[in-house]
Amino acid sequence: KQHEDQLIIDAGQKQFGATTCSSCGMLYSADSPDDNFQHTQFHQRFLDTIKFVGWKKERVVAEFWDGKIILVLPEDPKYAIKKAEDVRHIADSELGFQQVSLSSPSAAKTYLFINSDKMVVGCLVAESIRQAFRVLEQPVKPKDMTKEDFMEHHRAWCCSTEPKKAICGVSRIWVFSLMRRKGIATRLLDTVRNSFMYGSHLTKEEIAFSDPTPDGKLFATKYCGT
Ligand code: ACO
Ligand code: ZN
């Protein structure tokens, strides 16, 4: 019976073109055979990638009512590194990053937010840095410009030339599209500040975001209270 109901709902949405899959979050046009095919291709692979079965040894660095944060370090077992990499690839492809390798993989710390449904719904990659350039106020995106064009034009000059001392660089931060605005990115960053350097708590100023996206800037501006 449930299946029939689902078909009716889908048929209704067809008239409006775009549909967001309620499990994988992909936005696609149910009218288009191409889109449907792409969705089918993506759907299971995505869900398999973010599925977290649990490990014998997990480095749990924070616990919440709706999930936990685990830390993966370069010297960890292969299965842990593999999961961190796979999730990072998802984030990278969503961010449109071309290169899939980290600047210094041997020093990168990956923080994964696991929700109560055993899915990796957030990922943050942090690296040690010495200095950073402060992100300057960015002009608002004109309505007729795509996000990609805007990024292309503004990425180059969004940073000041005066270097600031920083300790921790966030090279990637990503939250599953269906789980955004629930404070997951905030909790990932709070946890990084507490656990990145053993025995010390980093201030917001000691954290730097590399090459932020428009979403990343909105979040970082709010988080840093600037
Ligand atoms: N638009 C406006 N404000 C925002 C947005 C947004 N898209 N995202 C976050 N904020 C602000 C809000 O004030 C929010 O508080 P509120 O929900 O109470 O209003 C506050 O930041 C905290 O947000 P969180 O819930 O902690 O952030 P979330 O878990 O949704 O994750 C993130 C934010 C990581 C930017 C997510 O939107 C995402 O994954 N986007 C796609 C990938 C991306 O662009 N990542 C940043 C790349 S930059 C880099 O990696 C260095
Ligand atoms: Zn789907």
10 Å CB burial of residue 189 (0-12, 13-18, 19+) is buried
Measured in angstroms, how far is the CA atom of residue 5 from the centroid of ligand 1? 34
Q: What is the pLDDT of residue 14?
A: 47
Q: What is the pLDDT of residue 13?
A: 47
Per the structure block, which two tokens stand in for 129?
Answer: 């840095």
Q: What is the pLDDT of residue 162?
A: 62
Q: Point out the ligand nearest to the CA of residue 87.
A: 1
For 157, residues 6+ apart whose C-beta sits below 8 A from its C-beta are: none
- Look up the ipTM and state it: 0.98
Q: Which helix (H) or strand (E) holds 49?
A: helix 33-50
Q: Pick from 27, 32, 26: which is nearest to 44 by CA?
A: 26
* Pocket flag, ligand 1, residue 218 (CB < 6 Å): yes
CB 173 within 8 Å of CB 203: no
Q: What is the pLDDT of residue 148?
A: 73
| Pairing outcome for strands 168-175 and 207-209 | parallel
Q: Pick from 128, 144, 136, 123: which is nearest to 189 by CA?
A: 123
Q: Which residues of the chain have pLDDT under 50?
A: 1, 8, 12-15, 155-157
First and final CA of the chain: distance in angstroms? Answer: 52
* Pocket flag, ligand 1, residue 196 (CB < 6 Å): no
Residue owning the nearest CA to atom 27 of ligand 1: 185
pTM of the model: 0.83
Residue owning the nearest CA to atom 35 of ligand 1: 216
Question: Could you identify the atom of ligand 1 that is nearest to the CA of residue 172?
Answer: 50
